[in-house]
């Protein structure tokens, strides 16, 4: 059975860069705000390279134990269970650490030896070192733009990766993404992208995160399934952005004029 390749519209040279990073066994870092296609890109590339991908969504509780593994009690015995990172290292998959900067610092410590010439993982609970499989690749993403709860990646960590920035695509490409993802009419996609760009340029609103391609895709989807256009834009684009009443009203009025 052939599996359909996840659709990804290239914005720059990211596909070529990724292929070369993979060939040379260099870890890959995707930088950029949420909803800019980072996860989709990795799914797409994993398909192109015919690789299995293991995704971990990191949060402030994610620890090296979650990634490396732990002992569990099974009946009367204690048995070791490999975590997703150890599995990927052993079987030669791509591990994707989404929002890696959110994880606990011991995660960063744990991946260091995998990101240089050693390409090995130390399992402290077993006192074992595992050499990475030929095809193992480490991929991580991080969002440099958070204004609150801002977490940085230290230069000593960042410099172990090849890094590519993911931004909102130019209009022509973003319209194409909307049409491809949702089969929405070109004219509606064009209007949604114009709304996205308009709000992105309203920097004075001080939004923590602005309109992502994901929000526009969601708006297009619910328009396609029959929700009135203005309502769709209100609930898919405006409401997720802010809770400030005045800003909500102003943005909804603005969008009503554009769709």
Q: Which stretch binds ligand ADP (CB under 6 A): 101-109, 194-202, 210-218, 224-232?
A: 210-218
Binding-site string for ligand ADP from residue 212 to residue 241, where x marks contact by CB under 6 A and - marks none: -xx--x------------------------
Rounded to 5 degrees, what angle do the CA atoms 218, 222, 224 make?
115
Site for ligand ADP in 39-98 (CB under 6 A): 39-40
Task: Please give the residue whose beta carbon sits closest to ligand ADP in the complex.
Answer: 37
Nearest to ligand ADP of 177, 223 (CB atom): 177
- SS3 for the chain is CCCCCCCCCCCCCHHHHHHHHHHCCCCEEEECCCCCCHHHHHHHHHHHCCCCEEEEECCCCCCHHHHHEEEEEECCEEEEEECHHHHHHHHCCEEEEECHHHCCHHHHHHHHCCCCCCCEEEECCCCEEEECCCCCEEEEEECCCCCCCCCCCCHHHHCCCEEEECCCCCHHHHHHHHHHHHCCCHHHHHHHHHHHHHHHHCHHHCCCCCCCHHHHHHHHHHHHCCCCHHHHHHHHHHCCCCCCHHHHHHHHHHHHHHC
Site for ligand ADP in 157-186 (CB under 6 A): 177, 181
Closest approach, Cβ 55 to ligand ADP, in A, equals 10
Closest distance between ligand ADP and the C-beta of residue 250, in Å? Answer: 26
Stretch that binds ligand ADP, among 29-37, 50-58, 232-240, 249-257 (CB under 6 A): 29-37
Mask for 6-25, x = binds ligand ADP (CB under 6 A): -xxx-x--------------
Nearer to ligand ADP, 145 or 228 (CB): 145
- Is the Cβ of residue 67 or residue 217 nearer to ligand ADP in the bound state? 217
**40 or 191, CB closer to ligand ADP?**
40
* Contact footprint for ligand ADP (CB under 6 A): 7-9, 11, 34-40, 177, 181, 213-214, 217
């Amino acid at each position: 059975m052939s599996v359909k390749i996840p659709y990804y519209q290239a914005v720059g040279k990211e596909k070529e860069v990724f292929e070369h990073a993979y060939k040379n066994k260099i870890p890959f870092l995707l930088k950029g705000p949420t909803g800019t296609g980072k996860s989709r890109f990795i799914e797409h590339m994993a398909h192109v390279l015919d690789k299995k991908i293991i995704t971990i969504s990191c949060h402030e509780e994610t620890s090296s134990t979650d990634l490396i593994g732990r002992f569990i009690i099974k009946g009367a015995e204690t048995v070791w269970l490999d975590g997703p990172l150890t599995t990927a290292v052993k079987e030669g998959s791509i591990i994707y650490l989404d929002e890696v900067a959110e994880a606990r610092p011991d995660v960063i410590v744990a991946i260091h030896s995998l990101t240089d010439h050693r390409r090995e993982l130390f399992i402290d609970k077993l006192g074992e070192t595992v050499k990475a499989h030929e095809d193992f690749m480490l991929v991580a993403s991080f969002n440099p733009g958070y204004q609150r709860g801002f977490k940085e990646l230290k230069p000593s960590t960042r410099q172990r990766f090849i890094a590519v920035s993911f931004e909102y695509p130019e209009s022509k490409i973003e319209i194409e993404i909307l049409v491809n993802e949702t089969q929405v009419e070109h004219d509606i996609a064009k209007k949604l992208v114009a709304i996205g760009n308009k709000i992105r340029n309203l920097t004075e609103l001080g939004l923590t995160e602005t309109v992502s391609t994901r929000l526009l895709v969601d708006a297009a989807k619910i328009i396609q399934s029959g929700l009135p256009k203005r309502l769709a834009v209100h609930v898919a684009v405006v409401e997720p952005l802010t809770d400030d009443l005045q800003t909500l009203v102003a943005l909804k009025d603005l969008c009503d004029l554009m769709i």
